[in-house]
Amino acid sequence: MSKKNFDIYLDLSSKKLSIAAFEKFSSHSIFFKEYDCETNLNKNKLNFENVKKTIEKNIFEIEKKTGEFLEDIYLMVETPESISINLSLIKNNEGKKIEKKNVQYLIQDAKQQILRNHHTKKIIHIIITNYLIDNNSYNYLPLNLDCNKFSIDIKFICFPKDLIKKLEELFNGQQIFINKIICSDYAKTFTKNKSYTNICESGLKLIQGINKQEVAMVPRKLEKKGFFERLFHFFK
């Protein structure tokens, strides 16, 4: 894939399709359009014909505006099929200092529990909602703090694998690769008090890491670092 100067965000909701193009380095929006586009993002009642037609009709306009072929997108999806799963995990620390690796193993354990017990779902977002250290709550991880026991609360936002497969097939048919799927409801909730000009901008901000408690997941084929290195850029 050639080096690109723009990132394309596409938001699918039940009645609209929104597309925006942002400059990679300045995040300046050079293109934004909304289209009436009736969809049904329920995995049992999928209707992508309108989406397909709208994309086909407007690819040339986007490419003309950016001067680049539309090869990949960040896809935002609003669907009634999304679910949130909350888990709490506890570790006895025996008075030792908290280290990144301790929390890394807890997150990995929680992730494996989700994959085992919800095998028809795919994890879209992982968010740390609370740290409880010797009965004291923190919204960040205080590293190198001595404690006897600590726990973390984690929220997993998941989509059905069947839905994701259909979305990938839809865009693969247009030779468009999906870089990342984003839950639109999560993006809107987190950014609802911000002065963003459109829904796609809220997705851009999430990808840029505006929520410091979200665990970044990078596909293994795109990153040679270990799993834990990929997860823990958000520890400050």
Domains, the chain: 6-80+161-212 (3.30.420.40), 83-159+230-234 (3.30.1490.110)
- Alpha carbon of residue 13 to chain centroid: 16
pLDDT at site 218? 62
Going residue by residue through the chain, which has 236 residues, state the pLDDT in tens, using 9 for 90 and above. Answer: 457 899 999 999 878 889 999 999 888 999 999 988 776 666 556 667 878 888 888 888 899 999 999 999 999 999 989 999 999 999 999 999 988 888 888 999 999 999 999 999 999 999 999 999 998 999 888 878 899 999 999 999 999 999 999 899 989 988 999 999 999 999 988 666 676 778 899 999 999 988 889 998 765 544 444 444 445 444 43
Please give the pLDDT value at position 44.
Answer: 59
Euclidean distance between CA atoms 137 and 150, whole angstroms: 10
DSSP-derived 3-state class of residue 60: helix
Is 200 in a helix, a strand, or coil? Answer: helix
| Backbone φ, ψ for residue 183 (5° rounding) | -80, 115
pLDDT of the residue at 225: 45
Tokens, residue 170: 């839809």
With H, G, I as helix, E, B as strand and everything else as coil, classify residue 16: strand
* Residue 121 pLDDT: 95
